[in-house]
């Protein structure tokens, strides 16, 4: 029996499925949670995992650490370890929400002693900031937290914790309090578990460098050429060199950084003197901890502050601090009114500002069921055969979820369900499928991409369950390839229709983006810094969410040049303009009397609208209403998916794909680079011609009254005077009537030559003859 070849577009199409979801009595159109039939009791869970780099408190330089979890009048303690600076407890504490009497929970690390236990450090959480976990969400991933002393300053040592609000259905509940948590097993088992991750809270750090005073240059014989260099982690920016050579320079420049809570690095400002090409000398520096900065929620400026600049001098071979301190005048704040973009604005999953005080109430719940995958391709070789260890990652808002890894299966079944709060319907959830390449102890391996799916919430009907098999499409240097299908069940439940509809009248981004907008270059640079921070933080969780996974989900390379995407965007524009082009052709047929009955009806409509002009706008809106009602029968029934035809992935030349996958800067040979450069020059030449034609038409409009061509301007001015007189004397309705009849005149009264106004306009001078 011969296999039937599948048409390419059908192979990449979305398929509706009918999985056996739901429970008896509810039908298949209702997804349910495991614990929706019980009264939920809320608990605060604190999972204490381990600590490291704890300082020694005894005379011998060792410590006997234990952890005390304190919430109001309630506290629980772990067992203590003797002479161990890297203890591991793996204990869970549960506190009933009904008995919570405090707004903070303290996790204190202490040293067991005979007389009095010594305080080592603590970590404090605000209960309002503690994330909620609703089953069947996977457990929160523990993270490292730097210990603080009682004043809030950094102390030596780190503690790994996970804090969340859950219910009695939480799997940690049976082992909570003084009993040990269930052992995960070996490292391999930990790498295949399902987990929930939270993106770090990102802030824009705005540094307004105003001025410096009393600078002391190293060379007293010259005035310094001063600029300020600011560093925050790996991010670095410089101000311009002060145009006035003085010891009290002024700049008033803004520098923007991205920072993530908890703040681990201080802002370092250094005043530099350019003494020669590529040679700089420091005139002073200062360190500013970010947790001390004021948090701004609106556009009102924060207070300025003077900071002393530290300067070290070499005296007799020893490094000593200068007694006289220069000063720098700064206005620094954490801008909480912006949304820190880590995704492309075209498919963002979260558009809220950083400051939680500015958040609006949620409008609904998004539920995602990751059911299974089918027909996955082998991603690696094991024991001489192809194999795939697949897992899914879904990202919406600050919450990332990762399913468990199904070992060695081309048809994995996950059947895991997750929920998110929705604050804006015009957002997108991203689901990616990956191959786990870290099960055999290969730390240098990267998890391979199998495919990605995006679902826009605004395209979903409320309370309807969408069950589809989405094609997993990946673009390779050899061409587009289907890697399999992933079966998803999606439901968007709206809790407030009024709030959701009201969201359509709100700006897409927080108001600070419009009151004090950031440039496109700034946003692009800050976005890549945010992606780097998020990927580094999530890769430090246990188990880590790999950097390559985070970057793929956030489309880190979406800004790179691609001939394929350029063509696709051009045809998207042509598709948008096709409606206008079709309307122009229809009107041309009306004017040329292709269908006499239709043209006569248009004449009658024109006369009615001229006699009753108050009917013009109602007619237009009624026409649009009728078009919308007519199109309702053919409305899309399925959510959108990755379209190979729209992306021009199925007709791309191999060299264009090779260019798209090339590194930046390029790694190709000279001949290939020369060929691509020549191709780019030819395309740019066409664009140059179009831009020049547009400029020519604009300059012709300007020359109507510029007297560049005195005869043409005299004719136009005379025509304007006569037109003013005729329009003043003749009723406007009569003019519109005669003009409409003239435009719709029979072809017998038309000429194939261009009209007089067009001939006159094309003869007007432009500045093209003045160009080299």
pLDDT digits (tens, 9 = 90+) for 203-238: 999 999 999 998 888 877 788 889 999 999 889 999
So what's the pLDDT on residue 173? Answer: 64
Q: For the chain, report the end-to-end CA distance as a whole number of angstroms.
A: 70
Exposure b/e, 464-497, CB count within 10 A at least 16 = b: ebbbbbbbbbbbeeeebebbbbbbbbbbbebeee
- Work out the pLDDT band at 443, boundaries 50, 70, 90: low
Of the two residues 536 and 591, the one the predictor is more confident about is 536
In which band, very low, low, confident or very high, does the pLDDT at 544 lie, cut at 50, 70 and 90? confident
Provide CB contacts within 8 A for 512, sequence distance 6+.
298, 299, 335, 337, 338, 353
d(CA 203, CA 260): 6
Residue range 116-134: mean pLDDT, rounded: 86
Q: Which residue has the higher pLDDT, 73 or 499?
A: 499
What digits encode the pLDDT tens for the residues 371-415? 889 999 998 888 788 888 899 999 999 999 998 788 888 998 887
Q: What is d(CA 260, CA 178) in angstroms, rounded to the nearest whole number?
A: 34
**Per-residue pLDDT, 549:** 93
Report the run of H or E that residue 299 belongs to, with start and end: none
Residue % of the chain over a pLDDT of 90: 31
Residue 156's pLDDT band (boundaries 50, 70, 90)? Answer: confident
Q: How confident is the model at residue 548 (pLDDT cuts 50, 70, 90)?
A: very high
Token code pair at residue 296: 């701004």
Contact 175/519 with Cβ under 8 angstroms? no
Share of the chain above pLDDT 70, in %: 90
CA torsion sign for 651, 433, 555, 643 is: positive
pLDDT band at 32 (very low <50, low <70, confident <90, very high): very low
Q: What is the mean pLDDT of the chain?
A: 84
Q: What pLDDT is recorded for position 442?
A: 66
pLDDT at position 210: 93
| Stretch 494-500: mean pLDDT | 86
Q: Are the beta carbons of 480 and 473 closer than 8 angstroms?
A: yes
Q: Where does the pLDDT of residue 41 fall: very low under 50, low under 70, confident under 90, or very high at 90 and above?
A: low
If we measure between CA atoms, which residue out of 269, 271, 283, 284 comes closest to residue 331? 269
Q: Which strands sit side by side in the sheet containing 74-77, from one edge to the other? A: 74-77, 65-71, 104-111, 118-126, 143-148, 154-166, 43-52, 88-96
The predicted model gives 27-37 an average pLDDT of 39
Confidence of residue 622 (pLDDT cuts 50, 70, 90): very high
């Amino acid at each position: 029996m011969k296999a039937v070849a599948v048409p390419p577009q059908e192979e990449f199409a979305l398929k509706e499925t009918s999985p056996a979801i739901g429970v008896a009595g509810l039908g298949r159109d209702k997804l349910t949670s495991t614990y929706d039939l019980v009264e939920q009791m809320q608990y605060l869970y604190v999972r204490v995992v381990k600590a490291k780099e704890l300082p020694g408190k005894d005379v011998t330089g060792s410590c006997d650490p234990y952890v005390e979890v304190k919430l109001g009048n309630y506290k629980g303690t772990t067992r203590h370890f003797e002479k161990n600076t890297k203890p591991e407890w793996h204990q869970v504490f549960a506190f009933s929400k009904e008995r919570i009497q405090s707004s903070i929970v303290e996790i204190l690390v202490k040293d067991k002693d005979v007389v009095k236990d010594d305080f080592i450090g603590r970590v404090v959480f605000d209960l309002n900031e503690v994330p909620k976990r609703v089953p069947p969400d996977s457990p929160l991933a523990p993270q490292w937290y730097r210990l603080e002393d009682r004043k809030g300053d950094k102390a030596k040592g780190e503690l790994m914790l996970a804090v969340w609000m859950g219910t009695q259905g939480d799997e940690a509940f049976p082992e909570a309090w003084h009993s040990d948590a269930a052992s995960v097993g070996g490292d391999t088992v930990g790498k295949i578990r399902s987990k929930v991750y939270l993106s770090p809270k990102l802030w824009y750090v705005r540094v307004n460098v105003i001025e410096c005073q009393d600078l002391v240059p190293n060379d007293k014989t010259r005035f310094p050429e001063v600029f300020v260099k600011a560093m925050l982690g790996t991010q670095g920016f410089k101000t311009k060199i002060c145009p006035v050579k003085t010891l009290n320079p002024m700049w008033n420049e803004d520098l923007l950084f991205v920072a993530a809570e908890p703040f681990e690095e201080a802002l370092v400002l250094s005043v530099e003197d350019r003494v020669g090409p590529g040679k700089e000398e420091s005139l002073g520096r200062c360190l500013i901890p970010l947790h001390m900065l004021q948090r701004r929620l609106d556009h009102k400026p924060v207070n300025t502050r003077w900071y002393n600049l530290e300067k070290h001098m070499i005296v007799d071979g020893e490094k000593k601090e200068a007694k006289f301190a220069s000063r720098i005048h700064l206005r620094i704040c954490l801008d909480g009114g912006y949304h820190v973009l880590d995704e492309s604005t075209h498919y963002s999953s979260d558009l809220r500002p950083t400051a939680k005080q500015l958040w609006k109430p949620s409008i609904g719940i998004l539920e995602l069921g990751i059911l299974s995958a089918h027909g996955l391709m082998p991603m690696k070789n094991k024991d001489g055969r192809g194999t795939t260890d697949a897992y899914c990652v879904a990202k919406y808002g600050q919450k990332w979820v990762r399913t468990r890894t199904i070992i060695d299966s081309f048809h994995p079944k996950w059947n895991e369900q997750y929920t998110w709060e929705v604050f804006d319907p015009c957002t997108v959830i991203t689901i990616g499928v990956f191959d786990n390449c870290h099960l055999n102890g290969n730390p240098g391996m990267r998890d391979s991409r199998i495919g990605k799916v995006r679902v826009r919430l605004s395209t979903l009907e409320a309370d309807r369950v969408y069950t589809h098999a989405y094609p997993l499409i990946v673009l390779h240097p050899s061409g587009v390839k289907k890697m399999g299908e992933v079966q998803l069940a999606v439901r968007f439940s709206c809790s407030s229709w009024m709030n959701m509809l009201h969201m359509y009248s709100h700006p897409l981004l927080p108001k600070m983006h419009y009151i004090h907008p950031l440039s496109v270059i700034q946003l692009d640079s800050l976005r890549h810094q945010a992606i780097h921070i998020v990927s580094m933080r999530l890769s430090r969780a246990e188990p880590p969410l790999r950097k390559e996974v985070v970057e793929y989900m956030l489309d880190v390379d979406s800004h790179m040049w691609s001939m394929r995407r350029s063509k696709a965007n051009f045809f998207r524009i042509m598709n948008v303009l096709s409606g206008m082009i079709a309307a122009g052709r229809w009107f041309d047929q009306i004017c040329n009397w292709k269908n006499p009955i239709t043209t006569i009806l248009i004449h009658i409509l024109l006369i009615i609208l001229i006699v009753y002009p108050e009917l013009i706008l109602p007619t237009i809106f009624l026409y649009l209403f009728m078009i919308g009602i007519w199109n309702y029968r053919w409305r899309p029934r399925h959510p959108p998916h990755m379209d190979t035809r729209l992306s021009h992935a199925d007709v791309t030349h191999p060299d264009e794909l090779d260019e798209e996958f090339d590194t930046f800067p390029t790694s190709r040979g000279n001949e290939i680079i020369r060929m691509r450069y020549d191709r780019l020059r030819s395309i740019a030449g066409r664009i140059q011609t179009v831009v020049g034609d547009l400029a020519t038409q604009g300059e012709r409009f300007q020359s109507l009254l510029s007297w560049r061509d005195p005869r043409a301007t005299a004719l136009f001015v005379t025509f304007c005077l006569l037109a003013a007189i005729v329009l003043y004397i003749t009723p406007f309705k009569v003019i519109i009537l005669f003009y409409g009849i003239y435009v719709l005149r029979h072809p017998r009264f038309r000429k194939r030559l261009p009209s007089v106004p067009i001939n006159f306009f094309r003869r007007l001078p432009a500045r093209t003859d003045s160009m080299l």
